[in-house]
Amino acid sequence: MRKIDLCLSSEGTEVILATSSDEKHPPENIIDGNPETFWTTTGMFPQEFIICFHKHVRIERLVIQSYFVRTLRIEKSTSKEPIDFEPWIERDLVHTEGQLQNEEIMTRDGHATYLRFIIISAFDHFASVHSVSAEGLAVSNLS
């Protein structure tokens, strides 16, 4: 099996929930493979979004490109429905003035059908997420 970026809308992945939405900067921008487009939070924290793979995947490495994110918590689910999320990763990011935050995480136990990203706090009133990529394997279809 070949390793691919599992977090691409072109691979069938979807953002099924986001707590903020500016129609000019929608959450779909996170998984369009283009770091120039982004999703913005629109005020107050925490803020979250949920990514659905529509299949069972095994993630080996995550890369999150963002700005002004301070504390990020990632939960995952292996259910068919977006329920039963379990804690997975929590990181305190560093502010990188004028540059994208580029957070690379080598993951353990990366079996998932859904990922839930929670921005617990930020370095400013607003934060942006430019891309999430998840390198790994598509394991099997749902059902």
Nearer to another protein, 57 or 118 (CB): 118
Q: How far is the CB of 78 from another protein (least distance, A)?
A: 32
Q: How far is the CB of 125 from another protein (least distance, A)?
A: 5
Q: How many DSSP H helices and E strands does the chain contain? A: 0, 9
CA angle 115, 117, 122 (to 5 degrees): 170
Residue tagged 């059902």 (tokens): 143
Residues that bind another protein (CB under 8 A): 21-25, 35-36, 38, 40, 42-45, 67-68, 98-100, 121, 123-126, 128, 130
Q: How far is the CB of 27 from another protein (least distance, A)?
A: 13
Q: How far is the CB of 24 from another protein (least distance, A)?
A: 7
Nearer to another protein, 34 or 78 (CB): 34
* Whole-number Cα distances in Å, 127 to 3, 72, 78: 30, 11, 28
Instruction: Determine contact, residues 76/7, Cβ cutoff 8 Å.
Output: no
Q: What sign does the CA torsion over 39, 29, 62, 86 have?
A: positive
Nearer to another protein, 2 or 98 (CB): 98
Nearer to another protein, 67 or 114 (CB): 67
